[in-house]
Structure 1
Amino acid sequence: MQVKLMKGETVGTAIAIADVVSFWCAMAIVALMLTGAFRDEQRYSYSLSTTAPVNMLNRRPCDEIYVVGEGETLHTISDKCGDPFIVEKNPHIHDPDDVFPGLVIKITPSSSD
């Protein structure tokens, strides 16, 4: 039994049109997902790693909030970022020799780039 809608359309026709539209919407979403998954250039890193990609280090080596990487010391960070007062500006660092990867510190460079 088909129920008549306005202007002679039936419910079956409306459902068929809705099925076609939903199919093409699903295909568009899949295409967008695949395009995003297989792109070559990835600008964002979603890992919890404490080291940044090399191109990020060349562009801006020291942000105001700095995460200590593997093998870094306060001396090397101070030289790299131009901040000789790291210990004074970070009261949570009780021992300057006890620096570990993942430690978050505040950097205030003395000379701006």
Structure 2
Amino acid sequence: MAKKFSELMAATMSPDAVQRAKKATQEMRDAMPLNELRQARGLSQKALAVILKVEQPAIAKMERRTDMYISTLRSHIEAMGGVLEITARFPEGAVKINSFEMTDTAPEN
């Protein structure tokens, strides 16, 4: 009879090895290129292109870019069902930057 992966892992890996594997998995989840994020969300380039009302090659080009407008990245993330948050990390702690967030109110004059 087949064993559950968790049982197999518990039987063959030391607790230290399990912790290292969990940490490595979390690090991979925390840092992911756009194309891998799209794939993890179960979307093809074509499907994302339909949502964003662009052609599929535009998605491929966007995923290869190392520099883009924040609004472009926000649209891409929102099309995948997410919310873009920008955080600056310093030795003293992290600060969420809200200057780039969309608002429902008009700017004051």
TM range (shorter): under 0.3
Which one has the bigger helix percentage?
2
With a CA cutoff of 8 Å and minimum separation of 6, indicate the structure with the bigger relative contact order: 1
Bigger radius of gyration among the two: 1
TM-score normalised to the size of structure 1?
A: 0.24
TM-score scaled by length of structure 2: 0.24
